Amino acid sequence: MKRCLVAAALAIAVFACSAAQSAPPIFKEKKYFGPIPWNSFSFAAGFLDGANFDYLTEGLDNWSKKNCAQNFGFNNFDDLPLAPYARLAYERQLTPNHFFKVASSISYLKTTGTGRECVSIAPDTTNYNIVLDIDQTFSVYLLSTDFGFSYYFVAPEVERFSPYAGAGFSAVVPMARLKTESTLNGEPYSNPDENVSRNSLEAGMHMEFGMNYYITNRYAFGIEGRYQMAHSKFYIHNSNFDLNYSGFALSLNLIYLL
């Protein structure tokens, strides 16, 4: 539902800006503005929605139930909230309508859970289980470097809107961390097997669409929607769980033209 609302809001903004494109300029013509430069840097800030860690959280819940008699164990995680998202990009104009873009982005995803699990201990030849109360935090710093091309439906021009669409490939580095705090009868208990981290390099793809408004031949701002596709694995309890980072990012862009 959140993604549908975000996509609808972006679509309305793009159509509104497209309508404004045919209207007279908002400001008076300024003869001293030069042509739009070929190179630009931009900073974007927004949020990412759509990532999914259900395979992992359901697997941790099933593991807790399996290791405790009569499903006494459990592990309940909260839904994954919107993740903050930021990006720096360099763009090079190849033709009036075609651009090459290189970008680096970061987003932070986090979900928390509480539960109960049983741990086996074997002093001498006697096996028995102890019951632990657990609080867990699973977080991912998602780093990405993107390479792609964009097509501007209206060539950039001062005091005009320019809608665009683009696509490309991504090198994605997820830095995943599972942190567990365990207590036994209210006292802290060391359970190192429940603290796991994994970094990896993954291949991904992205698509983007948006609208820029060029205030002068040096400054512009815009809104952009971006869909990314990327996955990684997380290994715990002798199992590999799929982490899905595919989702929709919505951001506001500040652009400086060199």
pLDDT digits (tens, 9 = 90+) for 192-215: 888 999 999 999 999 999 999 999
Residue 22's contacts (CB-CB under 8 Å, 6 or more residues apart) are none
Q: What is the mean pLDDT of residues 89-98?
A: 95
> Which residues make beta-bridge pairs with 206?
168, 228
Of 2.40.160.20, 3.90.550.10, 3.40.50.11810, 3.50.50.60, the CATH number of 2-257 is 2.40.160.20
pLDDT of residue 205: 96
Q: Where are the domains of the chain?
A: 2-257
pLDDT digit string, tens, across residues 128-179: 578 889 999 999 999 999 999 999 999 999 999 999 999 999 999 999 999 9
pLDDT digit string, tens, across residues 212-232: 999 999 999 999 999 999 999
pLDDT digit string, tens, across residues 24-78: 555 455 555 678 899 999 999 999 999 999 999 999 999 888 877 766 788 999 9
Burial state string for 190-223 with b = 16 or more CB within 10 A and e = fewer than 16: ebeebebebeeebebbbebbbbbbbeebbebebb
Give percent of the chain with pLDDT exceeding 70.
83
pLDDT of residue 3: 55
Best CA proximity match to 245, nearest among 111, 60, 53, 57: 53
Best CA proximity match to 64, nearest among 76, 55, 54: 76
